[in-house]
């Protein structure tokens, strides 16, 4: 019985971490689905977002429920700006090979953003105090307050994003672009106008993930590297361009890693995610919810 309770504890932990990873996956899936490019700098939006929200909480002394939306809004603008300045040639159709172009530009951005973080915030480790201190009981399972916040926030953000995609005019437009850009443009939805919004939203989602995990995982200039990789693993597991895929993929990855670390060997933690990825690539290359291209 006790070992079963322990299993449930570990499982919930994995689900919680997976949900936060899913936010990263969701941002990437939006960018990939609508803009058809990859974004290497997503981890740096995670990192910058957590720094911005850290600053709002510690310096401006804002409560977290104001600081997080505000910080996400700031990072939305940063995302829009990056798209307008650097990636807009893609949407305008001026680039021969958008995939290569985006790889090169966003890879350079990761290095730039990391250096900026070192200069502005120093190479130190920072943290945000727990949003919800203490532990909570849910039936036999013990949850830390941090994990509760992570779960609620992630589900809320993913729900909000899916609702936006489903019910708003703009969200439907994005889905139209993801199905067929020329078709969408005939109907008056142009990638050119929408891509900066998509990039901004994706950046805001990464920032939210960064902020919500900060009390657990600290903030430092290279903190975004691992979430970025998780984000891409989720993309492959859940299926490129699929919103439910990113949630399910995130949870699968989080649970796989956590259970593997406990019941197998924690030295190979990153291997479990990788193994999952390979399994999917071999047996179901389009991912759980992916469509055949």
Residues that bind other proteins (CB under 8 A): 2-3, 6, 9-10, 13-14, 17, 86, 89, 94-97, 100-101, 104-105, 108-109, 111-112, 114-116, 118-119, 122-127, 129, 135, 144, 146, 216-218, 220, 223, 225-226, 257-259, 261-262, 265-267, 269-270
Closest approach, Cβ 33 to other proteins, in A, equals 23
> Which residue in 124, 132, 121 sits closest to 55, CA to CA?
121
Closest approach, Cβ 84 to other proteins, in A, equals 13
Whichever of 149 and 240 has its CB closer to other proteins, that residue is 149
Whichever of 64 and 220 has its CB closer to other proteins, that residue is 220
Question: Which H/E stretch holds residue 137?
Answer: strand 135-138
Whichever of 109 and 157 has its CB closer to other proteins, that residue is 109
> Which residue in 235, 289, 252, 266 sits closest to 17, CA to CA?
252
- How far is it, in rounded angstroms, from Cα 181 to Cα 190? 8
Closest approach, Cβ 155 to other proteins, in A, equals 19
Whichever of 133 and 285 has its CB closer to other proteins, that residue is 133
Indicate the SS3 state at residue 97: coil
How many alpha carbons fall within 13 Å on the CB side of residue 29? 34
Whichever of 104 and 163 has its CB closer to other proteins, that residue is 104
- How far is it, in rounded angstroms, from Cα 230 to Cα 174? 24
- How far is it, in rounded angstroms, from Cα 141 to Cα 34? 39
Closest approach, Cβ 200 to other proteins, in A, equals 20
Closest approach, Cβ 95 to other proteins, in A, equals 5
> Which residue in 263, 281, 241 sits closest to 3, CA to CA?
263
Closest approach, Cβ 289 to other proteins, in A, equals 26
Task: State the CB neighbour count (10 A cutoff) for residue 269.
Answer: 15
Whichever of 171 and 270 has its CB closer to other proteins, that residue is 270
């Amino acid at each position: 019985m006790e070992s079963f309770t322990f299993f449930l504890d570990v499982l919930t932990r994995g689900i919680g971490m997976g949900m936060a990873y899913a936010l990263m996956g969701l941002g990437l899936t939006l960018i990939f689905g609508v803009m058809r490019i990859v974004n290497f700098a997503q981890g740096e939006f995670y990192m910058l977002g957590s720094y911005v929200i850290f600053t709002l909480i510690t310096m401006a002394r804002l409560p977290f429920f104001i600081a997080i939306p505000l910080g996400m809004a700031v990072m939305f603008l940063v995302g829009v700006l990056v798209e307008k300045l650097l990636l807009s040639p893609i949407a305008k159709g001026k680039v021969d090979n958008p995939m290569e172009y985006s790889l090169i530009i966003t890879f350079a951005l990761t290095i730039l953003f990391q250096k900026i973080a070192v200069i502005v915030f120093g190479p130190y480790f920072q943290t945000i105090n727990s949003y919800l201190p203490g532990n909570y009981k849910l039936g036999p399972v013990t949850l830390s307050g941090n994990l509760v916040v992570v779960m609620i926030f992630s589900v809320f953000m993913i729900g909000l994003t899916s609702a936006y995609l489903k019910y708003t005019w703009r969200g439907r437009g994005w889905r139209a672009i993801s199905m067929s850009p020329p078709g969408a443009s005939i109907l008056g939805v142009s990638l050119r106008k929408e891509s900066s919004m998509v990039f901004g939203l994706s950046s805001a989602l990464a920032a939210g993930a960064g902020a919500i995990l900060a009390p657990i995982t600290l903030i430092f200039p290279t903190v975004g590297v691992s979430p970025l990789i998780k984000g891409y693993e989720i993309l492959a597991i859940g299926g490129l361009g699929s919103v439910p895929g990113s949630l399910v993929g995130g949870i699968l990855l989080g649970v796989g890693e956590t259970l593997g670390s406990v019941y197998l060997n924690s030295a190979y933690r990153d291997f479990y995610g990788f193994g999952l990825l390979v399994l999917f690539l071999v047996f179901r290359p389009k991912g759980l919810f992916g469509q055949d291209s």
